[in-house]
Structure 1
Amino acid sequence: MMGRFFAFWFACGLLQPWAGAEELIPAAEDWNAHAQSTYIWQHKPALTAPYSGPFSLSSGAENTYSFSLTGAFGKRLWQGGEFYFDPEVAQGVPLSNLTGMAGFYNGEITRASGANPILYRVRMFMRQTWGMGGEGQSVSSGMNQLAGMQDAERLVLTAGFFPPLDIFDANRYAHDPRTQFLSWCNMAHCAFDYAADARGNTWGAALEYYRGDWVWRAGQFMQPLLANQLALDWRYFSHHGQNLELEHAHQLAGQPGKLRLLLMRNTALMGSYADALANPATMTAASAAGVPATGMVRREGVKYGVGLNLEQAVTPDFGVFARTFWQDGRFETYAFTEAHRSFALGASMQGAKWGRGSDTVGVALMRNALSGIYRQYLAAGGLGYFIGDGRLNYADEQIAEAYYSLQVLKDTWLTADYQFMRNPAYNADRGPVSFAGVRLHWER
């Protein structure tokens, strides 16, 4: 299978009808069309595991892959009004049925549909921009972005079906698993339980106000009907995820940086860990005696969280980033992953110093933690959505990641990535484990 995918990308790079032509960005596009494709293959060797539970990472060696092919079509409708539609084909097979850890190894694996490819809609939204003055800024053509000009001070409304991470928790150095770090904990705050379906997309709306060095963002999005499922809960005004973000751009030693403060408030039918531990009615026919289950005690609940996100250039080619997030940790994971506290710190460098300006190297350290009540729940044999070893010798989950992205053709990059994890699923009795992989990415 790998041979077929590599041949596909090689052909894409050599047979492009635009090869050798001059790139001309129009002053203002009425429409555009772009595409990307990403293939990721990873290997996990065997790990030490004196015991395993229903949602444990397999102790044996495993391979995993994911593949996505995305089209992005944009149309200018009127002054400031734009419409975008992105169809996507995806397939892939995760490790251990996508269980056994919080900081998963591949940000694309949520799109995996099994060995057979699936076609679905990943984006369908409108964007309205109201210019409010200030210096004009040029906008280049790209996926979900029409070339043209925009006012420095502006109000932007985005509404429709799209990933909330298109708007919130961006970071110049760690946000896109197709081109940067692969780990979930580098594409976003790992403890940011943002409202979305199992693929990371949802219906909703976000309003952004740009003024000087400041950006204010607010959004409300549909929750899944059940935790981490594709079906969405259409009770939009009673069950939703709400996010507020304040961003400030600054200069430090003459280099640009940004600091973002993010607030999260989620409302949904969620199971409380305390209720599950206290109520013997949580036992199901399939459960062992005495094992709690949040799925049996779901009720109206509210989950809160707050995070900080920093990006800072040190030189034009080298920058650092950091993320930290806290959520209350009383209710089950609903739309992202199993973390209540998360921290990430890393650096990224482009290869201009060694004559490879389009190459990138990155390194990062991550740490995830759970609330005290969730630790009790897991120790009692309870299961989360992604984790559950049957018992628990608690320790924070710790991850290191390094990658090198090599431009091999005009629009094609080959990446080597390595991740090392201690205490997978917060269990000091299991692991450590490593993930070695390659990524092939093409975009036009």
Structure 2
Amino acid sequence: MRFNFIASRQMALVRLAAALAGAMLSGFGFADTVQPEDWNAKFQATYVWQDKRSFPAAYSGGHSLKTDKERSYSFTTTAMFGWRPWAGGELYFNPEAARGLALSGLTGLGGFTNGEIARSSSRRLKSYRARLFLRQTWGEGGEQEAVESGANQLAGMVDRRRWVLTAGNLSVLDVFDGNAYSHDPRTQFLNWSLMTHGAYDYAADARGYSWGVALEWYHDDWVVRAGRFIQPKLPNQQALDRHIFRHYGDQVELEHAHSIAGQPGKLRVLAFSNRTRMSRYQDALDLAERTGGTPDINDVRTGEQTKRGIGFSLEQALLDDVGLFGRANWADGKTETYAFTEIDRSLSGGVLIKGTSWGRGQDSLGLAVARNGLSDVHRDYLAAGGLGFFIGDGRLNYRPEAIVESFYNLNLAKAAWITLDWQRIRNPAYNADRGPVNVASVRLHTEF
């Protein structure tokens, strides 16, 4: 009995000491700690099926969305491996495979309906390297914060004041414009206008990846990012131009984290500048006027040009399970779309709600709108019968392209979801003589 009494008293003292130590650590900002990972392995697979209903159109052109009923699909599967070779260093490798059939050959829209469909998609399953990059972090002391284990992210503790260098093969969107509520078409909104700034013509090959380097500086609630990535040799093609000091896509982003009524939020400003061998719409119009033909950007791709743009982004939690986002962005629109989609101005916003309040904490409900536009010279080029890489109806009765998207993401099991999604697009490809277009989608997704 005496032994049990002493043992229980000692155990009580140990528990008291642990509680005091925990309180002290919490006071110094170390309460939320995670066990560091030396390596991890993640996996995802996503299938998207879409059904486009027939719609009215006064006329159609070479790059119009087809007016009859269509169905499309996409499938991607990715393995994501991470390894910590030394303190502060992280190496990631992502083999990926994809196949798909796009609506109308991926033409006829500014805001395409499936962010998982690549410009290089075909019905044959193709495997490739999606990412191979190194991330190096240098801490500058101060408070620490936890980094959870995730895809291309090793768990551990990092200084809130730090430098992070990322270099290698990856997507520009892995580093820039990381909006928490509208960024990932595998789990959130599907439309291209909502996965990032619509007018952000970021450097990428036809699958959405590039090679480059980005440097980030974290200082408490502030982050500054800058990066340079290589462009494709030709617009929206797979082969990349490795002359990074001659042809490139530069971007700089400023981010600030804040709290409103106790709920976290972030503001971002992103500026980009692309330099490569691009066509100018005005050059194509001038050549057509001299020769009497139809303007064609492929006839005037003769010199190096620069394209610039800017975007503003907001993410804000309203409640613990409700968040909203908004984006406003602009590009000069003088040159052809080179690596993303044919949008020169875009406004978008929406709300994302977790299902906690109705007892479905792993479910989510989303509603968003986007309004896309073109520059004056881009409109003139299309109205004269010119074809862009993605759009061209032979003529143009210009109106901004307006998109509404809603979805419900239902958790089926621990690592499996099914999403029902609906999109309505007015003035497809900025043409009031066509549409509206309705697209229903079903998305199956697993990750672990």
- Alignment TM-score, normalising by the size of structure 2: 0.91
Q: Distance in 1 between matches of 2:368 and 2:73?
A: 22
Q: Does 1:37 align with 2:41?
A: no
Q: Does 1:293 align with 2:296?
A: yes
The aligned residue for residue 154 of structure 2 is: 146
- Whether the 8 Å contact between 1:66 and 1:112 is mirrored in structure 2 is no
User: AA paired with 1:106?
Assistant: N
Q: 1:20-60, CA deviations, whole angstroms, 9 ceiling, x for partnerless residues?
A: xxxxx972211111100000001001111121111000011
The aligned residue for residue 134 of structure 1 is: 142
1:373 aligned counterpart, secondary structure: helix
Write out aligned runs for 1:301-320 (5 A).
301-320=305-324
- Whether the 8 Å contact between 2:34 and 2:146 is mirrored in structure 1 is no
Q: 1:393-419, CA deviations, whole angstroms, 9 ceiling, x for partnerless residues?
A: 100000000000010000001100000
Change (3 A) 1:225 1:170: same
How far did residue 101 of structure 1 move?
0.5
Higher deviation after alignment, 40-49 or 138-147? 138-147
Higher deviation after alignment, 361-370 or 272-281? 272-281
Q: 1:376-434, CA deviations, whole angstroms, 9 ceiling, x for partnerless residues?
A: 10000001010000010100000000000010000001100000000000000010001
Q: What 5-or-longer segments of structure 2 have no aligned partner?
A: 1-32
Q: Distance in 1 between matches of 2:213 and 2:395?
A: 41
Q: Distance in 1 between matches of 2:205 and 2:114?
A: 17
Q: Does 1:339 align with 2:347?
A: no
From 235, 240, 248, give the equivalent of 1:232: 240
Write out aligned runs for 1:205-216 (5 A).
205-216=213-224
How far did residue 91 of structure 1 move?
0.4
The aligned residue for residue 93 of structure 2 is: 85
Q: Distance in 2 between matches of 1:388 and 1:112?
A: 20
Q: Distance in 2 between matches of 1:35 and 1:423?
A: 38
The aligned residue for residue 73 of structure 2 is: 65
Q: 1:310-363, CA deviations, whole angstroms, 9 ceiling, x for partnerless residues?
A: 000110100111001011110000010001100101001001110001110010
The aligned residue for residue 428 of structure 1 is: 432
User: AA paired with 1:110?
Assistant: A
From 326, 329, 336, give the equivalent of 2:330: 326
1:319 aligned counterpart, secondary structure: strand
How far did residue 82 of structure 1 move?
0.9
Q: Which has the larger radius of gyration?
A: 2
How far did residue 280 of structure 1 move?
3.6
Q: 1:242-288, CA deviations, whole angstroms, 9 ceiling, x for partnerless residues?
A: 000000000111110000000010001010000100014997xxxxx
Q: Distance in 1 between matches of 2:78 and 2:284?
A: 41
2:84 aligned counterpart, secondary structure: strand
Q: Does 1:177 align with 2:196?
A: no
Q: Distance in 1 between matches of 2:46 and 2:255?
A: 30
Consecutive aligned runs of 4 or more in structure 1 exceeding 2 Å deviation: 280-283
The aligned residue for residue 118 of structure 1 is: 126
How far did residue 114 of structure 1 move?
1.3
Q: Distance in 2 between matches of 1:111 and 1:75?
A: 31
Write out aligned runs for 1:401-412 (5 A).
401-412=405-416
Higher deviation after alignment, 289-298 or 88-97? 289-298
User: AA paired with 2:97?
Assistant: V
Change (3 A) 1:256 1:412: same
User: AA paired with 1:264?
Assistant: F
- Alignment TM-score, normalising by the size of structure 1: 0.92
Percent sequence identity over aligned pairs: 56
From 94, 109, 113, give the equivalent of 1:101: 109
Q: Distance in 2 between matches of 1:99 and 1:280?
A: 23
Task: Count residues with an aligned counterpart.
Answer: 415
- Whether the 8 Å contact between 2:279 and 2:335 is mirrored in structure 1 is yes
Q: Distance in 2 between matches of 1:280 and 1:38?
A: 45
User: AA paired with 2:383?
Assistant: A
